[in-house]
A and B are shown apart, each in its own frame.
Chain A
Amino acid sequence: MNHITLIWIIAEKDLRIEYRSRQQAFLTTLFFALLILVIFIFAFDPGSRATRDASPGILWVALLFPGVIQLNRSFQTEIEEGTLCGMILSPVDRGVLFLGKLVANWIFLVIIDLLILLAFVIFFNFAFSSQLLWIVLLIVLASVGITGVGTIFAAMVSSIHTREVLLPILLFPILVPIILAALSGTQEILLREQMQSLNRSIQLLVGFDVIFLAAGFLLFEYVVGD
């Protein structure tokens, strides 16, 4: 069986479990993100220039924190009944297991992020224009890097009791380059008419995605090895 089929088999299993068991978790994660947006709306005057200037940061805060909750949960089920062990016992390459988990996390994160973006545009009174498609592209690219690093760190801390606290502490410093690139690109799209440096943000995100994916693929074997 080729690697792409195996990656999809693992991802499809995770998405099926997600659909059956964690619809509640999906809604909770989404609600958490909406709550962040609402708090910012109450904290700042929605029509003011200052709010508009801060809006890219607000969007990425709302996108990042719920993502970490999801990443933490992705290995929780695997640990509870030892199913991670079951997958490791199979002759499937461990890098392929990593990519399967990553694809499921990525799909889940992108769906949540797109719903958050929709709420953000409505709450902060931005126009539904074709420029938003660029933000969708930034979200899709940034999510690859976030889930790439997030999946490997989630696997590392999965058997630790304080994993909920530990994961963001480990994850966010590593994600700084991705967050900065995504934030800079979002500022270009939302606040400036000319998007001169957007290409640079996209190139940076693609570069970090490749680095994080390759690192995760190579390191996963050691993370789950013993």
Chain B
Amino acid sequence: MPAQSHPLLRLSQITKTFGTIRAVWNLDLEVYPGDFLAIFGPNGAGKTTLLRIIASLTQPTSGRIEFSQKNSSQNRQQVGYVSHQSLLYNELTGFENLLFYARLYGIGNAQDRADEMLAKMGLEQAGDQLVREYSRGMKQRLTLARALLHEPQLLLLDEPYTGLDQHGSRLFTQVLEGLKEEGRTVLLITHNLGEGLALCTRAVIQHRGVLVFQAARQEFEKSEFEKLYFRAVEPGARSQEPGARSQESGVRSQESESRIEKSESRSQNREVGDQRS
């Protein structure tokens, strides 16, 4: 992460509970301009909830979110969000969808901007087609175009590869690579370790609402991360003795090992502290 810059986004002690369920638990995270952060984790780890909190779609139960700008409507202006759903109107054309959102965001020359984004995503030929006639891949690229319309400082992608075939995935990855080259700040949630690791500059593992691992991409190998990931998210991983782990892991670097254990122990301490209070 670029140490010289201020974080674009800082999450401090974020907790979100739904009744007795802890979706996100005492989570701290800083996102810097130019970061391409991949968040991995099994289903139910609280990744989507985390993204919804950042997008201001859900209020955290406790904790603080600080954007580089303070005003909440400006926060919304800073964020582009791609969710499981397309957020597109099936009965409008691709162009009409982008035009509608461009106007909501108050973009001057909305028509030109919609045309520009269609061209950028390779959809200029399909601009006049109703979205319900789009393939899944086309729809996903249009979704990304919608999220980028207003030039957000932070792009949130929640499992954007869901439902895409291999061709669609490759096209989508090319688009994301383009965004990375442009230096955009991206938070990507994915189950696809290969795609995520190929793109990210920083990787995070979230499990049971807690960030259990966080490191810059150059600090670990892909194979090492895969083992680390499955170890971190396997049932009962947090209750295991640290010693048992180090005996088994010949691949994991000691640095990664200690990082994951520190994260876990921090979260466990917080839980204990919380129970005491």
Q: Using CB atoms and an 8 Å cutoff, list the residues of chain B in contact with chain A.
A: 55-59, 73-74, 76-77, 79, 81, 83-92, 96, 100-101, 103-106, 130, 146
Residue of B nearest to A91 (CB): B73
Contact A86 B101, CB 8 Å, known A81-B85, A91-B106, A225-B59: yes
In the complex, A89 has a CB within 8 A of chain B: yes
Cα–Cα, bound, A79→B81 (Å) = 16
In the complex, A214 has a CB within 8 A of chain B: no
In the complex, A92 has a CB within 8 A of chain B: yes
On chain B, the residues within 8 Å of A16 by CB distance are: 91-92, 96
Q: Using CB atoms and an 8 Å cutoff, list the residues of chain A in contact with chain B.
A: 1, 6, 9-10, 13, 16-17, 20-21, 77, 80-83, 85-93, 225-226
CB distance from A182 to the nearest CB of B (A): 33
Residue of A nearest to B76 (CB): A91
Cα–Cα, bound, A85→B51 (Å) = 13
B104 touches A87 (CB 8 A): yes
Cα–Cα, bound, A38→B106 (Å) = 49
On chain A, the residues within 8 Å of B59 by CB distance are: 225-226
A9 touches B76 (CB 8 A): no
| A10-B104, A87-B104 given; 11 more Cβ-contact pairs under 8 Å | A17-B91, A20-B91, A81-B88, A82-B83, A82-B87, A85-B81, A89-B79, A90-B101, A91-B73, A91-B76, A91-B77
CB distance from A88 to the nearest CB of B (A): 7
CB distance from A216 to the nearest CB of B (A): 19
Residue of B nearest to A97 (CB): B104
Residue of B nearest to A79 (CB): B85
Cα–Cα, bound, A86→B145 (Å) = 13
A86 touches B73 (CB 8 A): no
On chain B, the residues within 8 Å of A93 by CB distance are: 73
Residue of B nearest to A225 (CB): B59
Contact A17 B86, CB 8 Å, known A85-B57, A91-B74: no
CB distance from B138 to the nearest CB of A (A): 14
On chain A, the residues within 8 Å of B105 by CB distance are: 90-91
Cα–Cα, bound, A97→B186 (Å) = 28
Among B86, B103, B104, contact of A82 (Cβ-Cβ < 8 Å): B86
B104 touches A90 (CB 8 A): yes
Contact sample, A vs B, 30 pairs, CB 8 Å cutoff: A1-B103, A1-B106, A9-B103, A13-B92, A13-B96, A13-B100, A16-B91, A16-B92, A16-B96, A17-B91, A20-B91, A20-B92, A21-B91, A81-B89, A82-B85, A82-B86, A82-B87, A83-B89, A86-B88, A86-B146, A87-B104, A88-B57, A89-B81, A90-B76, A90-B101, A90-B105, A91-B74, A91-B106, A225-B59, A226-B57
Q: Which of B56, B74, B96, B103 counts the most A-chain CB atoms under 10 A from its CB?
A: B103
CB distance from B94 to the nearest CB of A (A): 14
Residue of A nearest to B87 (CB): A86
Cα–Cα, bound, A90→B76 (Å) = 6
Q: Which of B77, B89, B106 counts the most A-chain CB atoms under 10 A from its CB?
A: B89
Cα–Cα, bound, A9→B92 (Å) = 13
CB distance from B106 to the nearest CB of A (A): 5
Among A13, A83, A92, contact of B87 (Cβ-Cβ < 8 Å): A83
Residue of A nearest to B77 (CB): A91
Cα–Cα, bound, A83→B85 (Å) = 8
A85 touches B103 (CB 8 A): no
A89 touches B55 (CB 8 A): yes
On chain A, the residues within 8 Å of B81 by CB distance are: 85, 89
